[in-house]
Amino acid sequence: MSARAVKRVAVVGSGVGGLACAARLAHRGYAVDVYEKLSRCGGRAHVIEDQGYCFDTGPSFVLMPDFYAEVYRDCGQEMAQRLPLLRLDTHYAVFYPDGRQVRVFHDEERTAEELERREPGAARRYRDFLRDTGAMYQAVKPLMYRQFTPAALADVRNLRLLPALQVGATCWQLAGRYFRSEALRCLMTFESMFIGVSPFSAPAFYSVICYADHAQKLFHPRGGMYRIPASLEAIGREKGCRYHYDCEISGIRRESNGGFLLKQATNEYTADAVVVNADLPYARQHLLQRRIAPYRYSCSVMLFYWGVRRPLAGLEHHNIFFAADVCANMRRIFEDSRWPEDPSFYVHVPTKTDPSLAPPGKEIVYVLVPVPNLRQAGADPHAAVEKVRQLVLEKLRQVCGVEVEQSIDVEHRFYPRDFITRYNALYAATFGLSHSLFQSAFFRPANTDPKLDGLYYVGCSTQPGTGIPPVLAGSKIAADLISARGG
Ligand SMILES: Cc1cc2nc3c(=O)[nH]c(=O)nc-3n(C[C@H](O)[C@H](O)[C@H](O)COP(=O)(O)OP(=O)(O)OC[C@H]3O[C@@H](n4cnc5c(N)ncnc54)[C@H](O)[C@@H]3O)c2cc1C
């Protein structure tokens, strides 16, 4: 039987991947309906506006700007018009438990000097590291726009890539070939936490995130991260997409005519094809009523958002604080499923670059603490949350020289359980399915459903993976697969 012609596409979920796929398809002439459980778009890239403060609640790093530019181009738009990006001169400050600090700059030579001060000989090895991870990035980037199955491993062209990707090594082991000190190995591997995996188990090819961050530079969208989903939604709307908010889909079924039926509490909708942007393991289990594979899940995070009524000296736009024992901290989260006592954490102060996000003279402070997902860990432990909050405030006091807590105007929190109740993210896995070797590339769930022709997946738990650039690439894979069917 030939594939059913597709004219009407339903997208379930308005995360960045769902929005990008919807806009691409609408630009290509499809009639697109987006169904979203929440009352506005963005998914994990959400925003809270309160008393003049604008808190981006999820992503904060714009890395790999090519992936962003590609989507706007594919929709016939100029990124500079729809998403103006500001370039950061200081990428981030790193704070070590011994009180020392290292800064990573836009200017690689300045960064090399910083590293040399911390570890003699590191400047030269830093250049080698960027050269080698740059080669890895060149090998990985085209793969991110292709859907793979395990069978593709037999393709000799793919096999040839394996040595460049250093399959078999971890990010930590790769960094250890260039940097002797634990301090610099931590600095060159912490990005694996952006995909919710410990650097001690993340496959070495995820070091491309570190390469992108150092060599391709860091950006911030003028007006905040929420400009990303907002601009994609606006493009889709201009091209005729219809968005249905407060509309949680409860089931997806194949109809006898070959189309799809989507059920919601009070309505039913039909479509020729469906793009599922809701998290893949949740969707398979709850929308398609299937048993799911024994997947591994990324970690969760605890987030604090503070509107602070005074400028905070000593902090940069992005700040990383390392635990006294990084290895023990990772073991606790990933192996023991216990809340950290002395965590590494990340502090985002976007008002350093973009004062428009807070009232004049005030600062936004967003704190992200990696914690175990809820598969084994159970409910969020109240005492541990308060302890972590005090520890963060104490470290900020040491760096900024002021009692930050007494200057907090507004506080919001996002607990691990909120990932389940808000986004339907199974086990509160912040970054979706884990990026272990056997859940990466060929082994990650594909963008096409194995059982239902015409059903596609876009988002952090499908190929190519989590983070805005991969999710944007995945939206092209799905849109191209639908276009290839003909209309
Ligand atoms: C705290 C945090 C920090 C991050 N930092 C970065 C960063 O700095 N840089 C970066 O690039 N990436 C970062 N990421 C990752 C990035 O935000 C995500 O990978 C990306 O936004 C996920 O997009 P998605 O397309 O998978 O959709 P999601 O964001 O998962 O959205 C899915 C949508 O589907 C909706 N939905 C679920 N079930 C249903 C249903 N039954 N019916 C209708 N709708 C439904 C949900 O409400 C949600 O809106 C971060 C993520 C988080 C949470």
Q: What average pLDDT does range 301-307 have in this prediction? A: 97
Ramachandran quadrant class, 461 (left: phi over 0; alpha: psi -120 to 50; beta: rest): alpha
Within 13 Å and on the Cβ side, how many CA atoms surround 395?
Answer: 27
Report CA(60)–ligand 1 centroid distance (Å): 13
* Ligand 1 pocket check for 461: Cβ under 6 Å: no
C-beta of residue 36 within 8 angstroms of C-beta of residue 245: yes
Task: Please state the three-class secondary structure of the chain as a single string.
Answer: CCCCCCCEEEEECCEHHHHHHHHHHHHCCCEEEEECCCCCCECCCCEEEECCEEEECCCCCECCHHHHHHHHHHCCCCHHHHCCEEECCEEEEEECCCCCEEEEECCHHHHHHHHHHHCCCHHHHHHHHHHHHHHHHHHHHHHCCCCCCHHHHHCHHHHCCHHHHCCCCEHHHHHHCCCCCHHHHHHCCHHHHHHCCCCCCCEHHHHHHHHHHHHHCCEEECCCCCHHHHHHHHHHHHCCCEEECCCCEEEEEECCCCCEEEEECCCEEEECEEEECCCHHHHHHHHCCCCCCCCCECCEEEEEEEEECCCCCCCCCEEEECCCCHHHHHHHHHCCCCCCCCCCEEEECHHHCCHHHCCCCCEEEEEEEEECCCCCCCCCCHHHHHHHHHHHHHHHHHHHCCCHHHHEEEEEEECHHHHHHHHCCHHHCCCCECCCHHHCHHHCCCCECCCCCCEEECCCCCCCCCCHHHHHHHHHHHHHHHHHCCC
Q: Kindly report, residue by residue over 341-373, the tens digit of the pLDDT.
A: 899 999 999 999 999 999 999 999 999 999 999
* Ligand 1 pocket check for 16: Cβ under 6 Å: yes
Q: Is a pLDDT exceeding 80 seen at residue 149?
A: no
CA distance 66 to 185: 27
Q: Is a pLDDT exceeding 90 seen at residue 168?
A: no
Q: Is a pLDDT exceeding 50 seen at residue 1?
A: no
192, 218, 277, 420: which to mutate for ligand 1, most atoms within 8 A of CB? 277
Nearest to 37 by CA among 374, 366, 286, 380: 286
pLDDT at 289: 97
Band (221; pLDDT cuts 50, 70, 90) = very high
CA distance 313 to 320: 15
Give the dihedral of Cα atoms 132, 137, 142, 146; nearest 10 deg: 110
Q: Is a pLDDT exceeding 90 seen at residue 304?
A: yes
Which residue in this structure is represented by tokens 């009692």? 403
Asked whether the bond before 464 is cis by omega within 30 degrees of 0, the reply is yes
* Ligand 1 pocket check for 65: Cβ under 6 Å: no
Of all residues in the chain, the percent with pLDDT exceeding 70 is 98
Report CA(255)–ligand 1 centroid distance (Å): 29
C-beta of residue 271 within 8 angstroms of C-beta of residue 253: no
In single-letter form, the type of residue at position 390 comes to Q
Buried b (16+ CB within 10 A) or exposed e, 234-269: bbbeebebebeeebebeebebeeeebbbbebeeeeb
β-sheet bridge partners, residue 12:
35, 276
Q: Kindly report, residue by residue over 25-50, the tens digit of the pLDDT.
A: 999 999 999 999 999 999 999 999 99
Q: Is a pLDDT exceeding 80 seen at residue 15?
A: yes
Which residues, including other chains, have CB under 8 Å from residue 8's CB and lie 6 or more apart? 30, 31, 32, 33, 270, 271, 272, 273
pLDDT at 473: 97
For the record, the structure tokens of 18 come out as: 């769902």
Report CA(194)–ligand 1 centroid distance (Å): 13
243, 250, 468, 475: which to mutate for ligand 1, most atoms within 8 A of CB? 468
Among protein residues, the one whose CA lies closest to atom 2 of ligand 1? 58
pTM of the model: 0.96
pLDDT at 380: 67
* Ligand 1 pocket check for 186: Cβ under 6 Å: no
Domains and CATH numbers, the chain: 8-85+223-296+431-484 (3.50.50.60)
Report CA(43)–ligand 1 centroid distance (Å): 4
Q: How many CB atoms lie within 10 A of CB 8?
A: 16
Q: Kindly report, residue by residue over 414-470, the tens digit of the pLDDT.
A: 999 999 999 999 999 999 999 988 898 888 999 999 999 999 999 999 999 999 999
Among protein residues, the one whose CA lies closest to atom 17 of ligand 1? 59
Q: Is a pLDDT exceeding 90 seen at residue 183?
A: yes
Q: Kindly report, residue by residue over 52-86, the tens digit of the pLDDT.
A: 999 999 999 999 999 999 999 999 999 999 999 99
Nearest to 348 by CA among 360, 335, 357, 361: 357
Of all residues in the chain, the percent with pLDDT exceeding 90 is 84
pLDDT at 360: 97
Work out the mean pLDDT of the chain and round it to a whole number.
94
